[in-house]
Structure 1
């Protein structure tokens, strides 16, 4: 067996994503894009994409790494000596209809999101779905153990520029990655300091009897649901290997433009508005009460959200730097009545949207006392994840918005749509809204959930009601 050289150890948050995947709780993150080729590129043979992939590997060091000691709490990264590009390309048959490509794209994302990565090659791949002779959907699927969501946008930006440059392909599909260091780790004590007061709250909550912790308003995690919080059903006691269900929905550019104009007029951001649309949808679709773990009927009064935050701007890192630079923000949202959620967004709701916008902005600008920094104090991150099995879920839903993707067209080669998806959470919140939009275009989101994990009689109908409500709210401007 060839010796390997450690590049660096995984940080606590990187270890969380590595352990989660090694336990089988989570597989591929996907950032896909619809490419248009006006330069006569033959998109059918995999060799057409060797040069762009080689460019990406040369510019982004994490694309050449593997993870060692995945089953421990001391995982580390090491570089592959060579990479066979053919091992990282999956070419599918052309979509049957070029008029409406979204069902075919949805099917590709659904099938690939639960596909495990090999541990013998760097954990990423591209899946190519030809849509027409001059267009294709290219999904960049990658392990969250090496990259976060915005890294996928960086990949496509580099990949697109390489396609536009008409690079000559390497003579062989086997390439040697450059010997360069990885970017500095993000969630370190120096970058994310934790105060004693912030640290002691979860420590005391874990040590003290539950009644005393509740009396003192202490929490064992960054945010804790109360008796009225909808959290679906507990995490599965025996998680299945294939778990994620997914739907893909689009919001046309004219509707998105009107929503953005309303946000600007109300001093708010789109992510805050999207949160309120979700709250309205859940308020309409869920019953007034649920049966808790003790068998008692409990009113559903609020929802607890998690929002992924891109911290690159806060630490002065380029938007194109690949790696793990995310934290989370946790917010509580009150349920709204039927008379409110079936009408236009009210002034009271706009105040909630502004509050959400301010809270997310504060989280994105603050480096001290970030919840993700608490992971360094966990005795075993793998054990912490395993203990979540069979317990109450930690919230109601997640919003992960990788933002507005901008791509320049050159030489007839460009990107016209983008898709973002991640698996449903085995041990996290029951619903994940994965959002991305393209500059000057529309918005695309996927909604993912663990199969059988929503606690409703008909999951497909429930999810369809949520998506229909969100669309109706966009149409209301």
Structure 2
């Protein structure tokens, strides 16, 4: 495939503010891939083959304009999306052997050639399709939108695929949804600006960030490698977890946020050298702005902001009881859930702050070698639209079904120490990926965090809410 240039390709539109942010991260080598995975099986037990996948992908490509573009002028202040004349599926689709966890661990650390399609697919033997894409063309929910379209396309075709070619010609009228600043009010109040300026002027010890534990400092060199672990709750267990959340008037994201905070608090309390040094951790929770921007779940776009917080370290009464739910702070967890609901509109202001950063590349480079901004990020793309409401719920009589959905993304050296990514599947199951950046924490703690997180959620499954 020939490389794209602004002279030889049709410009679809210029990159927006958030898209330029991700282009800058790509240029610096601090941005890998976003991956949404899902296992496709048919009622008769067969799994996806190349002929069926290619035929379905042609329909998906024609549905989503983001799959038909690349980026030109990425090293300039005004990068633009340009149309690719064609997509060669043999170049973007790979059937691979190997364990899913290992495939994802390697894939999220890979970048993209901006002059070629900004997505790729890896299919593992059990029929799991790993849709890997550049953040510039979509947020996590965009990956869900892709799988919704692919599942529908497979079920429209039936058992056999129509004649197809590995080369898909794109439409001459490729369109993209507008950038977020054109469809949402990102106004920043004077009060917010003054507060941010004050934070830059006061001594570091006066700020919440100074007293927050965020793992080891960012390395001076750029890295994308991370350790990744997977955890899946079947529909029955997932339904039970959500029941517990409702009983305590909280959300799944808030529950996991508090559980992660509790685990880290216990870890820090076990080391006497931390006594009096830290009073909190720093966390990041991406918040979808789709509802705010009136964007339906079925489109590919990048409409997301972030809610930052500094939760206080959780202190519990010493006990031989290993239970993570002992003295669990359900009240503060419920309050966080309420805050996150408000952030679906309020966090637009946080995204608006990006426009005051003059040089994106310098901003990201300045993170290297410094204390991390946050300890962990928890990102939840939510329930799969149209999925089952109850365990074992009816998913219809479609020939193809989708389960085992996971959301994974790169964990760069300049980001948070730990990432927790959550996704639901049509059957009602919940997939969770936990990763920690290389050198951000000790691997022994990373493994211990994952095991404790798994233990805590298992406790929730069996939690008595009577």
Q: CA–CA distance in 2 between the matches of 1:110 and 1:344?
A: 28
Cα 1:268/1:80, change in 2 over 3 Å: same
Cα 1:444/1:417, change in 2 over 3 Å: same
SS class of match (1:339): coil
- For residue 119 of structure 1, what is the aligned residue in structure 2? 114
- For residue 453 of structure 1, what is the aligned residue in structure 2? 440
- For residue 404 of structure 1, what is the aligned residue in structure 2? 383
Alpha-carbon distance, 1:120 to partner: 3.0
Structure 1 position 387 matched with structure 2 position 366: yes
Residue among 314, 336, 352 paired with 1:336: 314
Residue among 102, 106, 109 paired with 1:107: 102
Stretch moving more, 346-355 or 379-388: 346-355
Runs (4+) off by over 6 Å: 39-42
Structure 1 position 351 matched with structure 2 position 331: yes
Contact kept? 1:281, 1:465, Cα under 8 Å: no
Contact kept? 1:278, 1:470, Cα under 8 Å: no
- For residue 138 of structure 1, what is the aligned residue in structure 2? 129
CA displacement, residues 390-424 of structure 1 (integer Å, 9 cap, x when unaligned): 11111111000011114555442111220110111
CA displacement, residues 311-342 of structure 1 (integer Å, 9 cap, x when unaligned): 11122111111010111111222222243894
- For residue 413 of structure 1, what is the aligned residue in structure 2? 400
Q: CA–CA distance in 2 between the matches of 1:62 and 1:457?
A: 37
Cα 1:302/1:214, change in 2 over 3 Å: closer
Q: CA–CA distance in 2 between the matches of 1:169 and 1:285?
A: 56
Contact kept? 2:71, 2:115, Cα under 8 Å: no
Cα 1:409/1:65, change in 2 over 3 Å: farther
CA displacement, residues 9-29 of structure 1 (integer Å, 9 cap, x when unaligned): 222221222211221112111
TM-score by length of 1: 0.86
- For residue 20 of structure 1, what is the aligned residue in structure 2? 25
- For residue 99 of structure 1, what is the aligned residue in structure 2? none
Q: CA–CA distance in 2 between the matches of 1:32 and 1:152?
A: 8
Gaps of 5+ in 1: 96-103, 218-223
Alpha-carbon distance, 1:252 to partner: 3.7
TM-score by length of 2: 0.88
Q: CA–CA distance in 1 between the matches of 2:184 and 2:41?
A: 44
CA displacement, residues 134-161 of structure 1 (integer Å, 9 cap, x when unaligned): xx11110101121110001100000011
Alpha-carbon distance, 1:126 to partner: 1.1
Residue among 24, 32, 45 paired with 2:37: 32
Contact kept? 1:255, 1:474, Cα under 8 Å: no
Q: CA–CA distance in 2 between the matches of 1:459 and 1:270?
A: 24
Q: CA–CA distance in 2 between the matches of 1:351 and 1:129?
A: 43
Contact kept? 1:425, 1:449, Cα under 8 Å: no
Cα 1:344/1:467, change in 2 over 3 Å: closer
SS class of match (1:299): coil
Aligned length: 445
- For residue 456 of structure 2, what is the aligned residue in structure 1? 470
- For residue 237 of structure 1, what is the aligned residue in structure 2? 220
Structure 1 position 87 matched with structure 2 position 105: no
- For residue 67 of structure 1, what is the aligned residue in structure 2? 71
CA displacement, residues 398-457 of structure 1 (integer Å, 9 cap, x when unaligned): 000011114555442111220110111321211100011225533211111211111x37
Q: How much is the aligned-residue C-alpha RMSD, in angstroms?
A: 2.6
Contact kept? 1:290, 1:298, Cα under 8 Å: no
Cα 1:290/1:457, change in 2 over 3 Å: farther
Q: CA–CA distance in 2 between the matches of 1:12 and 1:289?
A: 43
Cα 1:200/1:239, change in 2 over 3 Å: same
Contact kept? 1:281, 1:470, Cα under 8 Å: no
Alpha-carbon distance, 1:289 to partner: 5.5
Contact kept? 1:188, 1:373, Cα under 8 Å: no
Q: CA–CA distance in 2 between the matches of 1:249 and 1:39?
A: 27
Q: CA–CA distance in 1 between the matches of 2:427 and 2:255?
A: 19
Contact kept? 2:213, 2:281, Cα under 8 Å: yes
- For residue 360 of structure 1, what is the aligned residue in structure 2? 340
Contact kept? 1:263, 1:269, Cα under 8 Å: yes
Contact kept? 1:290, 1:299, Cα under 8 Å: no
Contact kept? 2:383, 2:428, Cα under 8 Å: no
- For residue 390 of structure 2, what is the aligned residue in structure 1? none
- For residue 176 of structure 2, what is the aligned residue in structure 1? 182
SS class of match (2:125): strand
Contact kept? 1:73, 1:381, Cα under 8 Å: no
Stretch moving more, 342-351 or 436-445: 342-351
- For residue 220 of structure 1, what is the aligned residue in structure 2? none
Gaps of 5+ in 2: 388-394
Alpha-carbon distance, 1:33 to partner: 0.3
Cα 1:282/1:465, change in 2 over 3 Å: farther
SS class of match (1:130): coil
- For residue 373 of structure 1, what is the aligned residue in structure 2? 352
- For residue 172 of structure 1, what is the aligned residue in structure 2? 165
Q: CA–CA distance in 2 between the matches of 1:120 and 1:411?
A: 37
